[in-house]
Amino acid sequence: MLLKRTPCLFFSPLRDPIGLSRLIIWAGLGIVLLLPACGGDSVPPTDSGSNADDATTAPALADPTVDSLPAAPETTASPIPQVPQSTPLTPEIRLGLTGFGPIQVGMTIEQAEAATGMTFKSESSGGEEYGCEYYRVEAFDGIALMVTDGTIARVELRKPNLATISGAKLGSTEAQIRNLYPGQIQAEPHEYIPNGKYLLYVPKDADSQDYRVIFEVDAQGNVVAIRSGQLPEVGYIEGCV
């Protein structure tokens, strides 16, 4: 059986130049349409006329939540506050011109308690109505404190094992006192002890002229009382009375 041959349309570019142009245009369009499907994401064009050295990155958008917060002030680290340390009274502490160790003339009793960590107890003085009081330390009975107008005015030694900074103590002799404080002792007659004396240590420092250390000496020349503090209280011969 013979098959009927179907004539094929044959295009000759030589015979139809206009058709060739159309074929090229349609082929180009087909390639353009196929590129996105085959090539994936397209690359955005770049400005070929820009200089790479001059290129800058686009500024990032500011976060409005951050810009609205106030800037933290610049601060320096604060030193850790030091906790005051108390110094309990001991027999090794020495009496000075203005106090006994941590207890200083001008302190209140509360300040003295804080400085020593010890409890102070008031005792009868006979001068309460004039604002003059006496205090003792409950756990250390070697000293007595005179308080006037709310502050410590003088310190008195009451035990022979306690001494001044220079080493004078109850039982020392007048000669020893003069040797410990050469050229700085003034003597006055004692008010109540016959042939007794008050030996007054007078400091040389101009800033300390309102203070004294006073030694009371009996007729045998032995020290029977020692006190230091501010004038005039340190000179009261009968305490608060």
Verdict on whether the full-model pTM lies above 0.75: no
CATH (one of 2.60.460, 3.40.50, 2.130.10, 3.30.559) for 94-235: 2.60.460
Query: Smallest Cα–Cα separation from 150: which of 110, 114, 99?
Result: 110
The C-alpha atoms of residue 228 and residue 213 are separated, in whole angstroms, by 4
Contacts of 206 (CB under 8 A, 6+ apart): none
How many angstroms separate the Cα of 36 from the Cα of each of 40, 44, 45, 46, 100? 6, 13, 15, 19, 99
Report which of 173, 147, 177, 171 is spatially closest to residue 158, judged by C-alpha positions.
171
Instruction: In whole angstroms, give the CA distance from residue 115 to residue 103.
Output: 7
- Category of 131 on φ-ψ map: left (φ > 0), alpha (ψ -120 to 50) or beta: left
Tell which residue, 222, 237, 220, 207, has the closest CA to residue 97.
207
pLDDT values of the chain reduced to their tens digit, one per residue, 241 residues: 444 444 444 444 444 445 545 545 555 555 444 444 444 444 444 443 444 344 444 444 445 544 455 555 554 555 655 656 899 999 999 999 999 999 999 999 999 999 999 999 999 889 888 899 999 999 998 999 999 999 999 999 999 999 999 999 999 999 999 999 999 999 999 999 999 999 999 999 999 999 999 999 999 999 999 999 999 999 999 999 8
CA atoms within 13 A on the CB side of 163: 12
Residue type, 216: E
Contact 240, 127 (CB under 8 A): yes
Q: How far is CA 148 from CA 46, 129, 226, 232, in A?
A: 94, 11, 19, 11
What is d(CA 103, CA 111) in angstroms, rounded to the nearest whole number? 8
